[in-house]
Amino acid sequence: MQQSRLFSVILALFAFSLFAYATPVASKEVLESRGGDPLTVILNLFLDLKVKIDVIIAALVKLDVKADISVLVGQIVVLIQACVTAIINVGVVVDLSDKDKITAIATVCAQIIVNLQACITVFASILVNVLAVVNLDIVLQALLLQLNVCISGILVIIAPLCVSLTAVVNLSLTLVISVLGLLSL
């Protein structure tokens, strides 16, 4: 009896260690190998995120309107959380003189948000997908807030690029819209 309890505890510890090992956390060395300059690192992170999300959006487009999208949206949530973690590791960008990179980061971020909104709005009215959309909304808000912490004032650049979000009748990403200040437009 004691052996089976001990074996269960050992297996649980092993499972937690596998989970901890598999979490997507970028180290400082990985970030430095991506470009060195913090703005370049953040731009590369967003370009990589956009490519990965576009693949999942392509899979979402092929689904029926009444389909359960929680698994695919969960994959997007994990990707965005990994990006937020990597942005946290970059830290606050002190040199904001490269306006071209800042504009490129804002443009890619806005493209991600607009693409997700366009795709998610179709599925958001189905009860099964509401929780997935809320989770996506929360991680996008965290992404925007962390990006604004790293690059002060970038939301002012992103907001005009996302104005098309307010034209959608069913606003499923309300937290993102409120962070960008688009409700008053």
pLDDT tens-digit series, residues 33-83: 455 788 899 999 999 999 999 999 888 888 877 777 888 888 999 999 999
Cα-only R_g, the chain: 19
How many domains does one find in the chain? 1
DSSP class of residue 20 equals H
- Let me know if residue 8 belongs to a domain: no
Q: Which pLDDT score is estimated for 114? A: 83
Q: What pLDDT is stored for residue 169 in this prediction? A: 38
CA 116/CA 36 separation, integer angstroms: 29
**Domain presence at residue 21:** no
Q: Residue 148 falls within a domain, yes or no?
A: yes
- Structural domain for 129, as ranges: 28-180
Give the residue ranges of the chain where pLDDT is below 50.
25-29, 31, 33, 166, 168-171, 183-185
Domain assignment of residue 10, yes or no: no
H or E, element range at 151: none
Return mean pLDDT, the chain: 76
If one counts every other C-beta atom within 10 angstroms of the C-beta of residue 183, the result is 10
Q: What would the DSSP string read from start to end of 64-110?
A: -TTS--HHHHHHHHHHHHHHHHHHHHH--------HHHHHHHHHHHH
